[in-house]
Each structure stands twice: as structure tokens, then as C-alpha cells.
Amino acid sequence: MASITESYINHAQSYPEKIAIQTNNKKISYQTWHEMVYKTANWLDSLNLDHRTIGILLPNGIPFLQLFAGAATAGWTSVLFDLKWTETELKQRLALAQPSILITTGELFSKVQSLPVKIVIWEEVLSAVNNTSSSRAIEIDGKTPFYMGFTSGTTGNPKAFIRAHDSWVASFDCSRYDFQLHENDHVIVPGALIHSHFLYGAISTLFIGGTVYLLEKFSSSMSLALMESQPITAVYVVPTMVAAFLKEERRIEKHIKFLSSGAKWEENSKQRIRQMFPSLSMYEFYGASELSFVTVLNDNDRKPGSVGKPCHNVQIQIRRSNMEAAKPNEPGKIFVKSNMLFIGYLQTEGNSGHQRIRPIQDENGWITVDDMGYLDEDGYLYISGREKNMILYGAINIFPEEIEKVIGLHPSVEEVAVIGIQDSYWGQIAVAAVKGSATIMDLKKLCKQHLSSYKIPRKWFFIEEMPHTTSGKIARPEVKELIESVVTNH
């Protein structure tokens, strides 16, 4: 297949003056974007570094995308570092990724100057980048790695995963086929590019030939103002962003698509946002860093409890513990097969420090990230939960996601997380952390209507703010730590 940036030259020739990227104070045409990316790739080549891995620690903006796209064009692998990470977290991930250079801004230099890596300040090399040639004849093979991200393992420690160009180019077909996105779309990317959902939203739009509207940081009012003032057709969101939109006093009549991922989008939120956007199309997709797209659920699907049907060119199997295929509606572990899968995890070999990529596909190309669920008779996928989140209550397995789905039905619940804490008799018990104004009595009553008695949380805690990861997901380890500290102190 192709590289994730190879279409830029065609866009520059077909519509050179069309806007590729628009920010609060800048517009970049496709002709200019093509030249910027090629110059960046050629500048990276001029460094003559054998280890072609680049660390990026930048705020949202055009330089972030320019470096990422330029590195991909040059055959480098980009590693993205979060501005919110502590020095310890940065060092931990640097040790995993081992980039040759880390590019940051002069403003952020003091945060990273003591890190064990060669640091390059973007403002100081920008003139060298701009003075580099914009001609390039080297083509990148689709199997070349271009992106290293981090995902938490079962221990909570980060694991580095690697993607090749082929996997995202195949995903771009899903954007066209499943989400009906094309070169005429104007797409808002309101979240941090460190999160692959938003990075993918920007890079896929540029590959297809649409226009990206980039925010420096998420603002519900600014996002809505763009939707009203610009010809916006699509917005990449996570459910927490939708909750922020709902707090604004707006009504937007134009037809817009919301593309949501990162966490389950609750039905109550979907119903309320529909009143704010009467012509809204909603696409919710299930996937993982290792898998890319797996399923998609849209407005036409009348199975709201599911996460939809398989995406374009995706196969799904549910397997029992003995690895035999499960029957319809029979729960088991979810296995996925597609041409969008990652290469594998980066693994450091013993004391040698040598790194290799460890794939996790079986001999037939199937892969699992240990999510549990089932397929119904119509081929819709239902997620029971993550195996690592499972609560062992006596000898019974409880999936917190199932309980959260029910509690989230209450209109006065903004967010909920259910976790398991140790219990001397049961082993573990389910405990609910709730953000909202519902009463415990109301929530217990709701649970009794939808859940078996053993699944109803034994303890309830109400919190003012739910901790989140950068990607907008609820930070379960932090919630657990918060609850356990309260339980211990009482």
C-alpha cells in the first residue's frame, strides 16, 4: 500500500489553493502544506541519524502535524509525548521509546532539559527546515513503521505499540466507507493530537483531501462557534466533549456528523444532544490502539446497547475459553482480523537493551486485546467489559461496564465509574463513583430494574470531578485510589 502522506502531492496539483488546515490565526493551503511536509522530511534526512525515531513534545498546532507528517514521509517513527506527563512519566516513556531526538518549544524546554535525550527546539531549527528543498523522490513502503503510541498494560505500566503506514491507509477506507467522509468535508479536530482519535481525525482528513480545523485546546464554546460560522460537516469527539456541549445554550440546525470514540456514548447523552443538533448524524465506533476500527454504530442502527456491526473489511470472532467459536449471544473473548492491525508491542531484550517488535497475532492473523462480549444473531457486537477490569465477586465475574451502562441511564448522572475493591468475605465488591445529583435510593432502584442483585454496587461515592486520561476516558486507577483512600480512612 501507500504512505499516509502520499496523497498530498495530488491534492497540491488538483486544488493548490484549497485550505488544508485552519487554526484560530492561520490558514494553510494544500500547495503550502505539501511543501512544508516535504521540507520537514528532507530536513530530517539531512540529520543523518541511523535510529529514525523522533519524539514530539508540542502543543496542538500546525508544527505538531507538520513534524508528524514530515517524519512519516521520511520513513521515521514518531513518538508523541503528553504535555501533562510528569518528569517521571516522561522518563519512563523515553526509556521505552528511545528516540534519537525530542523536539519541543523554547517555552517547554525548562520542563524537559534534564531528560536523557537530545533535545531540539523547534523555533531554532525552523529556518533550516524552511530553507530545505521541497522536492522529494523517495517513496515509503507501506510496511514501514510511522507511529509509536503508549497503552497501559495489565500492571498499569505503559506499553509501546507500533503501527505501519498500511494500517492507517486501510483505516482511511473506513473513514470513506463507514463514516461517509470525502474531500469536501470540513472537519473540526477539537482535542489533543497526543490522543490517536484526534490525530487520526486530522491525518485522515488531510489524506482524503478535506479541510481540518484545529483547536489549540478544547473549548466547547469555540467548537460550537466554528460549527455556526464555518462550513463544518464533521466533528471528532469523545463523550466528555459532548457533555460540555450540552452545557452551552445553543441550537445548531445545520447537518453535522459527530464521530465519537474513546468511551461508550450513553443513550441519555445522545438523546439530549439531538435536541441541540436536530440534524445531527452520530457515528460511534469501537476499537483499540492495537486494532484501529472494529465496529461502528450509527443513527440507523436500532440496537443502542451494542457497539455496532463490523467496519469495512473487519472480521470478528467470539471465542470460548477453550478457543472454540461461541454461538450467537454466547459471551466470550473478542478476536479481530483486518488489515488495520498494529505491528506489535516494542520489547526491550534483557540487559542488552536491544529492541524488537513483538506481534500478538495468531498464526491465522487474529488478535485480541482481551475485551469480552458477544455477537447477536444479526451480527451486532456487545461489549461486556475488559477482562482486566473484571470484578471477582465470590466465584462470579462482574463486568463494571455493564453496571455503568445502567447507572448512566439516570438523567441526573453525568459520569459513573464502577470498580472492584477488596473485601474479606467476597474477595471483591463493586463500588460506584458517581458525578451527578441523583440519590443513592434512585440509583439502587434503577439497578434493581435492570441488573441481578449481585451486580448492584455495595458502596456508593459521589465525587465533584471524575479523573480522566488525556484521551478523555475515565482514569480507573485514579478512581480506585481515591475510593480506597476514603475506605481506609473510615
Residue 109's pLDDT is 93
Q: For residues 171 and 142, is the Cβ–Cβ distance under 8 A?
A: no
Residue 385 belongs to some domain of the structure: no
Residue 76 belongs to some domain of the structure: yes
- Same domain? 425 vs 304: no
Question: Looking at 374, 401, 417, which one is the last position of a domain?
Answer: 374
Residue 55 belongs to some domain of the structure: yes
Domain containing 449 — which CATH number?
3.30.300.30
Q: What is the largest CA-CA distance in the chain?
A: 70
Measured CA to CA, the distance from residue 39 to residue 55 in angstroms comes to: 18
Angle at 258 between CA 253 and CA 263, to 5 degrees: 140
Residue 187: what are its φ and ψ, rounded to 5°? -120, 125
How confident is residue 392, by pLDDT bands cut at 50, 70 and 90?
confident
Mean pLDDT of 196-219: 96
Over 50: is that where the pLDDT of 309 sits? yes
Residue 192 belongs to some domain of the structure: no
Residue 73 belongs to some domain of the structure: yes
Alpha helix (H) residue ranges in 131-237: 165-177, 196-208, 220-229
Q: For residues 146 and 162, is the Cβ–Cβ distance under 8 A?
A: no
- Same domain? 22 vs 98: yes
Model pTM score: 0.84
Question: Looking at 319, 345, 374, which one is the last position of a domain?
Answer: 374
- Same domain? 146 vs 257: no
Residues whose CB is less than 8 angstroms from the CB of residue 364 and which lie 6 or more positions away in sequence, other chains included? 337
- Same domain? 356 vs 403: no
**Tens digit of pLDDT for each residue in 45-64?**
999 998 999 999 999 999 99
Residue 488's pLDDT is 63
Q: For residues 143 and 163, is the Cβ–Cβ distance under 8 A?
A: no
List the beta bridge partners of residue 161: 149, 345
- Same domain? 48 vs 158: yes
- Same domain? 303 vs 435: no
- Same domain? 37 vs 140: yes
Domain containing 279 — which CATH number?
3.40.50.980
Mean pLDDT of 330-341: 94
List the beta bridge partners of residue 120: 103
Give the count of beta carbons closer than 10 Å to the beta carbon of residue 16: 13
**Tens digit of pLDDT for each residue in 342-376?**
999 988 766 666 788 888 899 999 999 888 899 99
Residue 273 belongs to what domain range? Answer: 220-288
**Tens digit of pLDDT for each residue in 258-283?**
999 877 787 788 889 999 999 999 99
**Tens digit of pLDDT for each residue in 411-447?**
999 999 999 888 777 778 899 999 999 999 999 999 9
Residue 479 belongs to some domain of the structure: yes
Residue 27 belongs to some domain of the structure: yes
- Same domain? 301 vs 278: no
For residues 137 and 226, which has the higher predicted lDDT (pLDDT)?
226
Q: Please report, rounded to a whole number, the percentage of residues in the chain having pLDDT higher than 90.
A: 64
**Domain count within the chain:** 3
- Same domain? 174 vs 314: yes
Residue 251 belongs to some domain of the structure: yes
**Number of residues that make up the chain:** 490
- Same domain? 297 vs 323: yes
12: left (phi over 0), alpha (psi -120 to 50) or beta: alpha
Q: For residues 184 and 210, is the Cβ–Cβ distance under 8 A?
A: yes
Tally: H helices and E strands in the chain? 14, 26
Question: Looking at 242, 265, 288, which one is the last position of a domain?
Answer: 288
Q: The dihedral of CA 469, 228, 12, 184: what is its sign?
A: positive
Measured CA to CA, the distance from residue 334 to residue 347 in angstroms comes to: 24
- Same domain? 73 vs 61: yes
- Same domain? 299 vs 421: no
Residue 221's pLDDT is 95
Over 50: is that where the pLDDT of 154 sits? no
